[in-house]
Amino acid sequence: MELDEMKLAWQSLDRRLEEHLALNKKALLQDKRSKASGKLRPLIWGQGFQMVAGSVMALLAAGFWDATRDIPHLFYAGLSLNIYGVLLIIFGGAMQGTMSRVDYSAPVLEIQKQLARVRNLYVQCGTILGLVWWLLWIPLTMVFFAWAFGFDIYAKGPPMMILSWWIIGFGGLLASIGFMVWASKRPALSGKLERSAAGKSLNSAQKFLEEIAEFENA
């Protein structure tokens, strides 16, 4: 009887220990999940700043093109900046909305899928906004000189200057697109470029989720 009682006592102790370890593991997982959302906080702030910057840009550009309706090249230069400002707002809002729908109480695999959608959207939006700058700097320069110095660089500057700017801009744009297509056929390089475009916050969040998944499966 004493031996049987000892076996029962050990079995009871084992169960309590397993339950205690399970509770500790659950508590640690909950703590890690609560920290996961914090990994994206810098990105959330950054997108908020982008929306504010886009709003300021759109408002200033709208005032400029409204005041230069009788000067076509300045009107379209201001309008292009206005459109870019609106794109900053739209893309920033889309990112904020996508990030807000990430459910950190869901299974880790589902969180990773949701984070992948955030990552893809961020890379796509960043690529579009970045490529546009190959051309956008030209109307920006025109608007800056007209607004800051009252000088119409298009009408009064060297005749070939604006043309050479457009050649440089379109050449750079085509070269960038060509490089992206070339890199997409090389997985290792494409992966490095994607991680670079995704930025620190998303890479950190993805790595953190991988650590949580490993901990769950341990």
* Residue 198: band (very low, low, confident or very high) from pLDDT cuts 50, 70, 90: confident
Strands (E), 45-185: none
Of 88, 89, 65, 42, which Cα lies nearest the Cα of 200? 42
Q: How far apart are CA 115 and CA 37, in angstroms?
A: 10
Contact 74, 138 (CB under 8 A): no
Q: What sign results for the dihedral spanned by CA atoms 72, 77, 81, 87? A: positive
Please tell me what DSSP assigns to residue 70: T
Largest CA distance in the chain: 107
User: DSSP label at 38?
Assistant: G
Distance, CA of 66 to CA of 79 (rounded, Å): 9
Q: How far apart are the first and last CA of the chain?
A: 38
User: 41 near 204, Cβ under 8 Å?
Assistant: no
Tell me the C-alpha distance between 216 and 159, whole Å. 67
What is the domain partition of the chain in residue ranges? 37-217
The 10s digit of each residue's pLDDT in 157-192 is 887 898 999 999 999 999 999 999 999 999 889 889
Determine the average pLDDT of the residues in 120-133: 94
In the structure, what pLDDT confidence band is assigned to residue 10 with cuts at 50, 70 and 90? low
